[in-house]
Amino acid sequence: MIPSVLPTYSRAPLSFVKGEGAWLIEADGTRYLDLGAGIAVNVLGHAHPALVKALTDQAQALWHTSNLYQIPQQQALADKLVDATFADTVFFTNSGTEACELAVKMARKYWYDKGQKDRVDIITFSGSFHGRSAAGIAAAGSEKMVKGFGPLLGGFVHVDWADHEALTAAITDHTAAILIEPVQGEGGIRPLPDQCLKGLRDLCDEHGILLILDEVQCGMGRTGKLFAHEWSGITPDIMMVAKGIGGGFPLGAVLATEDAASGMTAGTHGSTYGGNPLGCAVGCAVMDIVSDRAFLAEVNRKAGLLRQKLEGLIASHPDVFESVRGTGMMLGIKCKAPNTEIVAAGYKNHVITVPAADNVIRLLPPLNLSDDDIAEAATRLDAAAASLS
């Protein structure tokens, strides 16, 4: 008999009733160190007082109106994002994949309005992940995601990750945009070197095409800058954000320059819930903390500490682990033992990590975890690895 919850997930036998900072707690009181943060969502950990206050204050005042009316919390969050980034304008969604939908529509509309109606192709990369909507799966294009789902949304051109020649060859006068994650998440924590991101920007400028960055996973302080592309000094034309921006409340956004967004006039796009007062009240509280320089400096310091611990761990367990990769608090350990077994051994030692492609385990902890939490992470991962050797 089919379960009452559609069985599209293979879930771990863990169930939590409470969260405190970087810790998740089961009904019997067992505490797990959460190095997954709900897949890079809980950027400030669980039950952060400022977020709890923002949400409960807003819940007592007003939950939902509609985008038919002014929404001050949405305006405030858009202003914060515009102040802190390359963007001139923001549209709010509820998720990352909805942000992908709009990014694709925006890029196509841009060219349509410029009279270049055939410029509809979006170039994407192997190993990428852009969510599970029709545009998201067509963009990523992996067999695992698209098989059996009928005709795919057209207009996506897939190129191998980091194959500059193939990319250059793929650009035609039908190309509207290039869409890429500055650090691949699901694909196994693969950072695009800064030089390559710069090269991509140059290539886009040379051909006059749009650069869309998917910072759904790597954005919101995850790499130690507010957004990952800031490390390379370039800016995109359009950027997708979600996951961390709501700190656990479902929220996403598309950020764009005035030029890239020029086709998106009244009536061209919309959302019932996107930018709702609850989500945006929390989003404002997240932004106030995460965009702070001193906070980001601490993220970088702690990320260095965590990485150092992981290097030590690899040296002690060469039969289980191979190498560390990634950047900031977006770290991957390439494994020798099967990654799912290591994740399961972590559960037994009450530490949570997340598997990714390429036999990698991901560490995407709350950005504000403590130095003690980092020491505890090393101890527990060490015990997990020892149980496998």
97: contact with ligand PLP by CB under 6 A? yes
36-95: contacts with ligand PLP (CB under 6 A)? 95
Quote the least distance from Cβ 129 to ligand PLP, whole Å: 5
Q: Give the separation between CA 146 and CA 161, rounded to whole angstroms.
A: 19
What's the Rg (C-alpha) of the chain?
21
User: Considering beta carbons, is residue 140 or 320 the nearer one to ligand PLP?
Assistant: 140
User: Considering beta carbons, is residue 353 or 378 the nearer one to ligand PLP?
Assistant: 353
181: contact with ligand PLP by CB under 6 A? yes
236-275: contacts with ligand PLP (CB under 6 A)? 242-243
Task: Please give the backbone phi and psi of residue 319, each rounded to the nearest 5 degrees, phi first.
Answer: -80, -15
Tell me which of 54, 145, 179, 216 binds ligand PLP, using CB under 6 A: 216
Q: With CB under 6 A, what is the number of residues at the site for ligand PLP?
A: 14
Q: Give the separation between CA 253 and CA 236, rounded to whole angstroms.
A: 14
279: contact with ligand PLP by CB under 6 A? no
Binding to ligand PLP by CB under 6 A, coded x per residue (else -) over 294-323, reads ------------------------------
User: Considering beta carbons, is residue 296 or 364 the nearer one to ligand PLP?
Assistant: 364
How many CB atoms are closer than 10 A to CB 83?
Answer: 10
362: contact with ligand PLP by CB under 6 A? no
Distances 234 to 99, 195, 242 between C-alpha atoms, Å: 21, 10, 20
Got the DSSP string for 273-320?
STT-HHHHHHHHHHHHHHT-HHHHHHHHHHHHHHHHHHHHHHHH-TTT
Tell me which of 38, 45, 182, 185 binds ligand PLP, using CB under 6 A: 185
Quote the least distance from Cβ 136 to ligand PLP, whole Å: 7
By DSSP bridging, strand 252-256 and strand 321-327 are unpaired
Which tokens is 341 given? 């077994």
Tell me which of 131, 236, 246, 355 binds ligand PLP, using CB under 6 A: 131
Length of the chain: 389
User: Considering beta carbons, is residue 243 or 350 the nearer one to ligand PLP?
Assistant: 243
Specify the residue for token string 């690895």: 385
Greatest extent of the chain over all pairs of C-alpha atoms, in Å: 63
Distances 64 to 22, 253, 254, 272, 283 between C-alpha atoms, Å: 30, 18, 21, 10, 15
Q: Give the separation between CA 44 and CA 47, rounded to whole angstroms.
A: 8
Q: Give the separation between CA 369 and CA 141, rounded to whole angstroms.
A: 35
Tell me which of 129, 227, 249, 321 binds ligand PLP, using CB under 6 A: 129
156: contact with ligand PLP by CB under 6 A? no
Quote the least distance from Cβ 72 to ligand PLP, whole Å: 25
By DSSP bridging, strand 31-34 and strand 23-26 are antiparallel
User: Considering beta carbons, is residue 80 or 190 the nearer one to ligand PLP?
Assistant: 190
191: contact with ligand PLP by CB under 6 A? no
Listed ranges 42-50, 123-131, 201-209, 330-338: which one lies at the site for ligand PLP (CB under 6 A): 123-131
Instruction: Give the residue nearest to ligand PLP (CB).
Output: 96
By DSSP bridging, strand 121-125 and strand 175-180 are parallel
Tell me which of 34, 214, 373, 376 binds ligand PLP, using CB under 6 A: 214
End-to-end CA gap in the chain:
39
Quote the least distance from Cβ 373 to ligand PLP, whole Å: 23
User: Considering beta carbons, is residue 167 or 245 the nearer one to ligand PLP?
Assistant: 245
Listed ranges 179-187, 270-278, 292-300, 381-389: which one lies at the site for ligand PLP (CB under 6 A): 179-187
Specify the residue for token string 């060469």: 318
Quick one: which of 241, 252, 246 has its CA closest to 282? 246
Which tokens is 73 given? 């919390």
By DSSP bridging, strand 252-256 and strand 89-93 are antiparallel
User: Considering beta carbons, is residue 40 or 384 the nearer one to ligand PLP?
Assistant: 40
217: contact with ligand PLP by CB under 6 A? yes
Quote the least distance from Cβ 312 to ligand PLP, whole Å: 28
Q: Which residues bind ligand PLP (CB under 6 A)?
A: 95-97, 129-131, 181, 185-186, 214, 216-217, 242-243
